[in-house]
Amino acid sequence: MRKRTLFGIIITFLVIAIAYFNNSSSISAGEVKLNMGVGGGAIGFLFVGPRDDYGYNQAAYNGSEAVKEAFPFMKLLRVENVPETAEAERVMEEMIRSGAKVIFPTSYGHLDPALEVAKRHRDVVFLHQGGLKTAENLGTYFSNIFEVIYLSGVAAGKMTKTNKLGFIASFPIPQVLLNINAYTLGVRSVNPDANVIAVFNGSWCDPGKQASAANTLIDQGCDVLTQHQDCTKTIIETAERRGVMSSGYHCDALEIAPEGWITGAYWNWDDLYVNMCDMILNGEFKGSPYDGRFRTGIHEGVAKLARFGKNVPDDVKKLVKEKQKEILDYKFYPFTGPVRDQSGTVRIEPGVVPTVTELETTDYLVEGSIGNIPK
């Protein structure tokens, strides 16, 4: 009888203990969800290249400066030239040890390392630039900058004399293909005889490869160069030195190409970065627009049209601004069908306006582009 009583007491104790720990776990999970990104003393930024590259990294670094100004009580941890490898994980872990509860891994290839670190630190919020995958504590953001790249293509299509334009691309990911296509559609909308020659160099920022590709395209007769690289300075300077024109991406680079600069698309991350940090530091990440895949664009001022170069005629400026107004007034969308690929196959049916999610699966080059997509 005493054995049964003792056994009953033990079982009762175990049931109570299990219930207690289960309840404690659920409370803990709720607290983590509620306090994601809160309580840290620092905000971290990772850049795949240098901050003065007249490109992707410089634009993101400029945005981080706005965060520094808006949150003077927070320490800003910024690391440049972080490769898209396990080294990115190490850098993020070090930032967390230094008090970061909000981290911006800004390069496309920083996404998988960020997802791994996010699994280990559920109380830290990660905001990845341009990614297509999310997690409980990792959101992605980007801008529909292809709308502005289309406008850049319109200007370039009017400026070319040889009807050959060169596009130096990095990797055949959807966003790169999307930008090549937007530029080509813009060019061909005003100059159907022109072609855009796309080459892929397999790097985000390799000045040697960039210079080689730029010179090769110029030797082939291209009189306008543009690109989707993280650093742009070498390409723009090579074009300027060889006496050909350039369209920019990421940053306004008029000052390094005073003769050949046409215009370009650039990022203005300031307000978006500040708003994201503000919501997260106030414990409002979950359920916010940034908890998932957030996309913005020309209407919100994140994607902007750069200054025109001094040699761009007034009629070209007027044409581009008129088309820009059509986009801003929702009267025109660059990828409204029909859109055909290089083989002439219709990829977007007549009258169809694809969603951004659909466009971010782009795996083809449009009619008017010359070049092969690397496998």
Helix (H, G, I), strand (E, B) or coil at 102: strand
Looking at the fold, whether 278 and 356 belong to one and the same domain comes out as no
Show Cβ contacts of residue 226 under 8 Å, excluding neighbours closer than 6 positions.
Answer: 152, 156, 165, 166, 167, 168, 183, 246, 247, 248, 249, 264
Average pLDDT over every residue of 154-167: 98
75: exposed, middle or buried (Cβ count in 10 Å: 0-12, 13-18, 19+): middle
Looking at the fold, whether 79 and 215 belong to one and the same domain comes out as no
> What CATH number does residue 326 fall under?
3.40.50.2300
Report d(CA 329, CA 332) in Å as an integer.
8
Q: Which of 250, 281, 297 is the last residue of a domain?
A: 297
Which ranges in 191-230 belong to alpha helices (H)? Answer: 207-219
Q: Are residues 111 and 133 in contact, defined by beta-carbon separation less than 8 angstroms?
A: yes
Looking at the fold, whether 74 and 166 belong to one and the same domain comes out as no
Query: Which residues lie across from 138 on neighbouring strands?
Result: 126, 135
Q: What is the dihedral of CA 303, 309, 311, 316, to 10 degrees?
A: 20
- Looking at the predicted structure, is the pLDDT value of residue 14 above 90? no
Query: Which residues lie across from 249 on neighbouring strands?
Result: 265
Looking at the fold, whether 138 and 153 belong to one and the same domain comes out as no
Domain count, the chain: 2
Average pLDDT of every residue of the chain: 91
Looking at the fold, whether 219 and 342 belong to one and the same domain comes out as yes
**Does residue 37 sit within a domain?**
no
DSSP structural state of residue 170: S
Q: How far apart are the first and last CA of the chain?
A: 76
Of 59, 60, 55, nearest to 45 by C-alpha is 60
pLDDT digits (tens, 9 = 90+) for 50-76: 998 888 999 999 999 999 999 999 999
Looking at the fold, whether 314 and 358 belong to one and the same domain comes out as yes
- The dihedrals phi and psi of 73, each to the nearest 5 degrees, come to -85, -5
- Tokens encoding 95: 């930032």
Looking at the fold, whether 283 and 314 belong to one and the same domain comes out as no
pTM, two decimal places:
0.86
| Domain extent for 92 | 42-142+269-297
**Does residue 202 sit within a domain?**
yes
- Looking at the predicted structure, is the pLDDT value of residue 161 above 90? yes
